[in-house]
Homo-oligomer: A and B are copies of this chain.
Amino acid sequence: MSVLKATAVACANIAFVKYWGKRDAELNLPANSSLSMNLDRLTTITTVEFSPDYDDDLVILDGREERGETRQRIVAHLDRVRAMARLRARARVISKNSFPSGAGLASSASGFAALSLAASRAAGLELSQRELSILARFGSGSACRSIPGGFSEWTAGSSSEESFAEQIAPPEHWDLRDVIALVSRAKKPVGSTEGHSLAPSSPFFQARLASLADRLTKAKAALLEKDLATLGPLIEEDAISMHAVMMTSRPPIYYWLPSSIQLIHEVQNWRAEGLEVYFTLDAGPNVHLICQAADQAEVERRLRDIEEVLEVIVSGPGPAARVIEP
């Protein structure tokens, strides 16, 4: 029997048009299509080995054996791969993030993208990028966007087969930067899964969905034209729209910290001073500052002057999820 082992690496991604709320929780179909950029410095590297010698699945994340819910979610994903490969063997999963997990930095996106690729390859499957994206989506919705490289669109779709991400431009298309201002390393108070399920309770959820098709079309066009002056305001608008839905859910979810609002104001001040930079926030308090490569150093410098910013992490457009030698 050949060695059933593979290692894969995948990037996190930052959404310019975000996914919040599900159309179908079981299939993990999103309520809306979304648009994102892979982040080359936020990666997860995952090794999966299936072996008939293992009694049970073992999951080690960042050097610590996982038990409970996190392990269960990963085991469920391994089960999907085992079902596809008609494999019974248990697995060892060893995974390592290049960044703090659970702080709204989309560790589940890079995590499930890397896991999908490593596990399917270890199980002997050669999935297409589309199949991989669908598989990753089952693990964590936004993980499907971490399968293709560069800039991706996740088409919501109305069935599982239709709901996957595709590259709309390669990493070389545009050297955008995501300069992340980390203002908290704490685990977020409400996880994304719970948050998604609360989204429809917001009186603004339907209005958000109604406004999204137009925003996505415009954002995609601006991205293809490398027009940050058009794309930037759409990115900000979408982030605020999502957080407005979160804060008006029942119960409300307040992901922002004082430093989040401080940075939202700073970005606007800096822009008024001529620095072309825009903000976005995922389901967490950290602020992503989007700018072009030429402005990165200045954005970084200004962020490092702000006491509340614990760490600055800069990413460019990252590659597709890929198999590597361990």
Contact = CB atoms under 8 A, between A and B. Distances in A.
Contacts of A98: none
Given A203-B241, A207-B207, A262 B252 contact: no
A4 interface: no
Q: Describe A's contact surface by its main secondary structure.
A: helix
Contacts of A247: 240, 244
A125 interface: no
Contacts of A248: 237, 240-241, 244
Question: Most chain-B CB neighbours within 10 Å: which of A204, A210, A254, A256?
Answer: A204
A257 B254 CA distance: 15
A200 to B, nearest CB: 13
A270 to B, nearest CB: 14
Contacts of A236: 252
A193 interface: no
Interface in A247-291: 247-248, 250, 252, 254, 256-262, 264-265, 268
A206 B236 CA distance: 21
A226 interface: no
Contacts of A254: 261, 264-265, 268
Nearest to A205: B207
A208 interface: yes
Nearest to A209: B203
A250 B240 CA distance: 12
A294 to B, nearest CB: 26
Contact of A207 (B206, B256, B257, B268): B206
Contact of A261 (B240, B241, B252, B256): B256
- Which 9 residue pairs spanning A and B have beta carbons closest together? A258-B258, A244-B244, A203-B211, A207-B207, A204-B204, A258-B262, A258-B261, A240-B247, A203-B207
